[in-house]
Amino acid sequence: MTEANETDGARGSTPMLSIRGVTTGYGKIQILHGVDLTVQRGQIAALLGGNGTGKSTLLKALSGLLPVWDGVVEFDGEPIHQLRPDQIVRRGLVQVTQGKDAYPAMTVEENLKLGAFTRSDRKGVADDLERVFTFFPRLKERRNQLSATLSGGEVQMLVIGRGLMARPKMIMLDEPSAALAPKVVLSIFATVNQIRATGVSVLMVEQNVRMALLLAEYAYIIRDGKILIKGEARDLIKDPNVKLSFLGGTVADTSREIVA
Ligand SMILES: Nc1ncnc2c1ncn2[C@@H]1O[C@H](COP(=O)(O)OP(=O)(O)OP(=O)(O)O)[C@@H](O)[C@H]1O
Ligand SMILES: [Mg+2]
C-alpha cells in the first residue's frame, strides 16, 4: 500500500477525479463518512467492498443523483459537487447505468442514441455510434433488434455503449460483470481495457475483486462508508489482508488474459 496516488507529481497534471471528505446518505441516515478517492487521467481505479458498504451510494453522489452533504468533488480540475446530473454529464463524467436500465421496447440503436442526449453534433454522434460498434460488433449485428431480446451480456454491452455515446472523459461502472457467465465477464473486462486505451478514465465498482485488481492501476476498499485500504492494484493483489478478506487464495490464471 502506498500514498503515492495523491502525491505523485510525475504524471504532471491534476487528477481526472478528486474526492475529498465526501459525506452523504438518505434522509437522516448517513452512509458515507468522509470518503477520499482519486482517479488519475487515463487510468482505471477499482472501488471494492462488501454488500451495503456504500459503493453505489458514492457513484450516485458523484453523478449528482444524491446531494453531497459535505466535502469536495473535483472533476477535470473543477468542483462539480453542486451541479445537477445533466450538468455533470456535460462536463464529461458519465455513470453507466445498470443493465436493467436499458429500454426494452426500443431498439439497440435507439437505446445507444439516448446516451448522446447532451449533444447536438449529428455527425459526431453518427461517428461515435460506429465507434461503439467497433467496441461491440455484436451490437452492430443487432442494431435494429428490440433490446428486450438481448442476452444479459449484450444488455451490459448496450449500457456501456450508451455511456460512451456521451463522449465522456471518464465513465463510472457499477458492477459491470454482475450475473454474467465467466466468458462474457472476460469480454466485458477486455472492452473496459480497450476503452481506457482510448484515453477515457474509469472508476469501476466490482465484486469480481481478482479481475478488477488485474485490470485497474489503483484500488480502494470501502467498508461502512469509509475507505479502509487503498493502494496500487498490483500491491493489493499480493497483500495478505486483501487476499484473506477478498481473494480466498491465489490469482486465477484465466484472469491474466485481460491484461496481456
Ligand atoms: N434509496 C435508499 N434509501 C435508504 N437507504 C438506502 C438507499 N439505497 C441504499 N441504501 C442503504 O445504503 C447503504 C449502502 O448501500 P449501497 O447501495 O451504496 O451499497 P453497495 O456497496 O453498492 O452494495 P452492493 O454491493 O450490495 O451493491 C445500505 O445500507 C443500503 O441499505
Ligand atoms: Mg451497489
Checking if the pLDDT of 78 tops 90, the result is yes
Cβ(31)–Cβ(222) below 8 Å: no
Give me the helices (H) in the chain, please.
4-7, 55-63, 85-91, 108-114, 122-135, 137-141, 152-164, 182-197, 209-215, 233-236, 240-242
* Residue owning the nearest CA to atom 31 of ligand 1: 52
pLDDT at res. 3: 44
Look-up of cell digits 475529498 = 20
Residue-wise pLDDT tens digits, 237-257:
988 878 777 765 444 433 444
Who lines ligand 1 at CB under 6 A?
26, 31, 49, 51-57
Checking if the pLDDT of 170 tops 90, the result is yes
Closest ligand to Cα 173: 2
Q: Check the CA dihedral 238-241-244-246 and report its sign.
A: negative
Atom of ligand 1 nearest to the CA of 225: 14
Determine the distance separating the centroid of ligand 1 and the alpha carbon of 60, expressed in angstroms: 10
Higher pLDDT, 180 or 226: 226
End-to-end alpha-carbon separation of the chain, Å?
24
Atom of ligand 1 nearest to the CA of 57: 18
Q: Which domains does the chain have, with CATH numbers?
A: 1-92+211-260 (3.40.50.300)
pLDDT band of residue 102 (cuts 50, 70, 90) is confident
**What is the Cα–Cα distance from 214 to 237, expressed in whole angstroms?**
8
Q: Which residues contact 76 (CB under 8 A, 6 or more apart)?
A: 14, 16, 91, 92, 169
Which CA distances in Å does 172 have to 55, 92, 203?
11, 11, 5
Cβ(54)–Cβ(47) below 8 Å: no
Q: Model-level pTM?
A: 0.89
**Cα angle for residues 91, 131, 157 (degrees, 5° grid):** 85
Cβ(81)–Cβ(73) below 8 Å: yes
Average confidence score pLDDT of the chain:
89
Cβ(151)–Cβ(181) below 8 Å: no
Residue-wise pLDDT tens digits, 136-160:
999 999 999 999 999 989 999 999 9
Range 139-150 burial, b when 16+ CB lie within 10 A, else e? beebeeeebeeb
Residue-wise pLDDT tens digits, 198-211:
999 999 999 889 99
What integer is the mean pLDDT of 113-127?
Answer: 91
Cell output for 247: 481473494
